């Protein structure tokens, strides 16, 4: 396998940091088979660098010197705070084949002030599996009313038929959709099969920017969720090709991808606007099939039903 070039990190290349060479359709099967673990360790190093660069010394109780040239924490500072050898931590950032334990990863997550989504992403990159949930992520009493109201909202929302519902896989390929999806998003049936993808549509179609009240927020959320799935599926060549294709035509996507933000799918509001249908706030709910976890039903429930159901 040939040498791989170093990424400059400025997001200007057609293939951004984190996209394996297997995304190239000319790559050999042997190269594709050899990439997953190597790619994960490289992604792990890039992610750690990006996270420590956003933590100031003052946030962890360290003095800020006038001659400090590093943005964020130094490698040795992260290592000491996490109870690790500076040399060993340097190797981890460099993508060397070392094997941190779950306890070490959680110590790094604490020092780097990672969110629960980022902590899960860290474990996926380093160990290939998610960690046990932290106590702070357990469902509490405040969530109970929304959970109780969810079945009624699903019946009302899906039964009306005027709200978007579509089926998608982990790469955000849109596999089936109702008429409301065509109205609020686009008629995916009019697009070539290889363009029936929510990420492609979001970053390449002008109508996408017009449909979302906060396009930047929704686009960033979509990329952060794609990055989380990417870590869990390092051998998914089609996903790597998707990232390469969108990166080649969208500077916004390259910027967001190289920011290494990660997030998992949760119920959240989405604000949309249509020239004829007006403005509407939906709550996105994901329904996954037990037999095929890679497939999901994405339902947009009207937010006003949520408010009525919790009174």
What DSSP assignment string belongs to 118-170?
Answer: HHHHHHHHHHSSPPPPPGGGS--GGGHHHHHHHHHHHHHHHHH--S-EEEE-T
CATH 2.40.50.100 fits 141-309, yes or no: no
Give the separation between CA 121 and CA 228, rounded to whole angstroms: 6
Sorted by sequence, the CB contacts under 8 Å of residue 58 that are 6+ apart come out as 64
Give the separation between CA 109 and CA 23, rounded to whole angstroms: 30
Q: Which tens digit of pLDDT belongs to each residue from 50-80?
A: 999 999 998 988 887 767 777 899 999 999 9
Q: What are the structural domain ranges in the chain?
A: 21-137, 141-309
CATH 1.10.260.40 fits 21-137, yes or no: yes
What DSSP assignment string belongs to 243-276?
Answer: HHHHHHH-HHHHHHHHTT-------EEEEEEETT
How many residues comprise the chain?
311
Q: Which tens digit of pLDDT belongs to each residue from 15-25?
A: 444 444 433 33
Give the separation between CA 85 and CA 81, rounded to whole angstroms: 10
Q: Which of 186, 152, 195 is nearest to 177 (CA)?
A: 186
Q: Which tens digit of pLDDT belongs to each residue from 86-102?
A: 999 999 999 988 889 99
pLDDT score at 267? 87
pTM over 0.75: no
How do strand 165-168 and strand 296-302 relate by DSSP bridges? antiparallel
Helical pair 215-232 and 237-249, crossing angle rounded to 10 deg: 150
Give the separation between CA 218 and CA 212, rounded to whole angstroms: 7
Of the given ranges (124-133, 174-183, 251-260), which has the lowest mean pLDDT?
124-133
Helix, strand, coil abundance in the chain, percent, nearest 5: 50, 10, 35
Q: Which tens digit of pLDDT belongs to each residue from 98-120?
A: 889 999 999 999 999 999 889 99
pLDDT score at 149? 56
Give the separation between CA 102 and CA 20, rounded to whole angstroms: 26
Sorted by sequence, the CB contacts under 8 Å of residue 63 that are 6+ apart come out as 57
Going through the chain in order, the beta strands assigned E by DSSP cover 165-168, 174-177, 268-274, 278-288, 296-302
Retrieve residue 123's tokens.
């474990």
Question: Is 140's pLDDT higher than 90?
Answer: no
Q: Which tens digit of pLDDT belongs to each residue from 187-243?
A: 999 999 999 999 999 999 999 999 999 999 999 999 999 999 998 888 888 999 999
Question: Is 178's pLDDT higher than 90?
Answer: no
Give the separation between CA 299 and CA 307, rounded to whole angstroms: 17
For the stretch 55-64, contacts whose Cβ atoms lie closer than 8 Å and that sit 24 or more positions apart, written own/partner, are 55/111, 55/112, 55/113, 59/113, 60/111
Q: Which of 240, 253, 189, 211 is nearest to 12 (CA)?
A: 253
- 3-state SS class at 203: helix
Question: Is 167's pLDDT higher than 60?
Answer: yes
pLDDT score at 304? 77
Residue 127's Cβ-count burial label (10 Å; 0-12, 13-18, 19+) is middle
Q: Indicate the average pLDDT of the chain.
A: 80
Dihedral of alpha carbons 164, 168, 172, 177, sign: negative
pLDDT score at 13? 40
Helical pair 75-82 and 86-93, crossing angle rounded to 10 deg: 120
pLDDT score at 31? 36
């Amino acid at each position: 396998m040939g040498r791989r070039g170093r990424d400059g990190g400025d997001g200007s290349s057609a293939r951004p940091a984190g996209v394996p060479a297997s995304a190239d359709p000319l790559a050999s099967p042997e190269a594709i088979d050899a990439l997953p673990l190597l790619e994960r360790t490289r992604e792990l190093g890039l992610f750690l660098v990006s996270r420590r660069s956003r933590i100031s010394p003052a946030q962890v109780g360290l003095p800020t010197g006038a001659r400090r040239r590093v943005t964020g924490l130094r490698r040795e500072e992260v290592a000491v705070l996490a109870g690790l050898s500076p040399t060993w931590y340097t190797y981890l950032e460099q993508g060397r084949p070392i094997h941190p334990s779950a306890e070490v990863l959680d110590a790094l997550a604490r020092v780097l002030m990672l969110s629960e989504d980022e902590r899960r992403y860290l474990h996926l990159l380093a160990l290939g599996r998610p960690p046990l949930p932290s106590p702070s992520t357990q469902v509490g009493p405040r969530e109970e009313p929304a959970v109780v109201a969810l079945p009624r909202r699903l019946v009302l929302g899906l039964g009306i038929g005027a709200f978007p519902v579509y089926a998608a896989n982990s790469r955000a390929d849109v596999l089936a959709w109702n008429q409301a999806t065509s109205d609020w998003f686009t008629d995916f049936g009019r697009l070539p099969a290889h363009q029936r993808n929510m990420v492609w549509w979001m970053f390449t179609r002008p109508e996408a920017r017009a449909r979302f009240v906060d396009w930047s927020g929704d686009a960033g959320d979509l990329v952060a969720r794609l990055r989380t799935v990417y870590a869990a599926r390092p051998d998914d060549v089609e996903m790597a090709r998707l990232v390469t294709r969108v990166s080649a035509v969208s500077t916004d996507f390259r910027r967001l991808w190289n920011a290494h933000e990660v997030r998992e799918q949760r119920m959240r509001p989405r604000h949309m606007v249509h020239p004829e249908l007006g403005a509407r706030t939906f709550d996105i709910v994901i329904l996954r099939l037990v037999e095929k976890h890679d497939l999901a039903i994405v339902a947009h429930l009207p937010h006003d039903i949520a408010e009525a159901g919790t009174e």
